[in-house]
Amino acid sequence: MWYYHRARCSARSRKEKTAFCATTILLISTQAQQELRKSALQIGFADLQFIVATSPDAEFQSFYNRYLDENLHADLDYLANTTVKFDPKFILAGVKAIGVFAHAYRHRETEHELKNAKYKIARYAWGRDYHKTLRSKMKKVMKTFNARMVVDSTPLPERYFARKAGIGKIGRNGMLIREDLGSWFLLSFALLEEPIEVQETRQNEPQLSAEISSTCGTCRACVEACPTQALLADGRMDTSRCISYATIERPGHRIQESKKHRWVFGCDICQNVCPYNRGNVGFTSEEDFKPRKAALAIANGELTALQAQDWLGTPLRRAGSEGLAKNID
């Protein structure tokens, strides 16, 4: 089986050598990583890359601490727990490697519905709850491992690890961007207790400011399009100004611009104007991302037509019928 590699004998004494060579270390070889990536692509993921599990580097920690020091996280106090944020071992004590998955979520049926929607819903929320979909698909890929599957449900600094794994680059709006997907993709992670074989050392990532300049150049389309001036143009965002925050975390919270632009759950404005998102990028044929009854009804302002079961298994359940009614009002 290509998961197992016997450690080389390099002990100095015969006694040490005997003890050392008797140990077989479970290692995820580069061949295994390639096979797992192939399996991921076959069931609809856009990418899977593996990295060694380490604490975020000093640059990210400084970047994130400035975000907190300037109170850009609004009243989301859980974001301030840097002890957990900066150490993946708090999520899985024995973690040695992380599998980083990317999955497109833009669906052609959703695009069709958005054209005539009375009220707007962020694209990721039209279908089945993506947490359920991605976790189920990751389990199929990682079925021979006792991995912890993480889908936007822990303090893991997801975009940091995705960037480190080479999944994408950070744009001016803080979104992760790929040439083939734009920013229309979701991240999910498999935390593993097995170490990985590192074939070659990745080049160090550029400073974040340099990466944004390289990715976006002089483009400020997202910054200028944001109706609430939530984007700071350096990869950070003032959460309290964000329409997504207002409509999901604080339903009914009065941000006039969300009413004006008719967003009732989430917001895609900064993604809509991004040049990387133009054209035929970020689409998936995954059935779970097709529009569901709840999204279709809300988009048409027919909230009262929905029954309790219509909300089950959708991201919209987070705001609930009462919250969405406040957003629509």
**What are the backbone angles phi and psi of residue 149, rounded to the nearest 5°?**
-90, 130
**Nearest C-alpha neighbor of 193 from the set 160, 144, 128, 237:** 144
Domain residues for the domain of 91 are 4-328
C-alpha 214/C-alpha 251 separation (Å) is 37
Residue 38 is inside which H or E element, if any?
helix 30-42
Identify the burial level of 185 via C-beta atoms within 10 angstroms of its C-beta, where 0-12 means exposed, 13-18 middle and 19 or more buried: buried
- Rounded to the nearest 10 degrees, the angle between the axes of helix 130-141 and helix 30-42 is 130
pLDDT of residue 320: 84
Residue 152: DSSP 8-state: S
Q: What is the largest CA-CA distance in the chain?
A: 78
Place of tokens 């970047």: 63
152 a catalytic residue: yes
Contact in structure between 107 and 126 (CB atoms under 8 Å): yes
Out of 69, 87, 129, 152, the active site residue is: 152
Q: Report the predicted TM-score, pTM, of the whole model to 2 decimal places.
A: 0.90
What is the domain count for the chain?
1
C-alpha 1/C-alpha 134 separation (Å) is 27
pLDDT tens for the chain, residues 1 to 329: 445 443 444 444 444 444 434 344 579 999 999 999 999 999 999 999 999 999 999 999 999 999 999 999 999 999 999 999 999 999 999 999 999 999 999 999 999 999 999 999 999 999 999 999 999 999 999 999 989 999 998 999 999 999 999 999 999 999 999 999 999 999 999 999 999 998 765 666 779 999 999 999 999 999 999 999 999 999 999 999 999 999 999 876 656 666 678 999 999 999 999 999 999 999 999 999 999 999 999 999 898 888 878 888 999 999 888 888 888 87
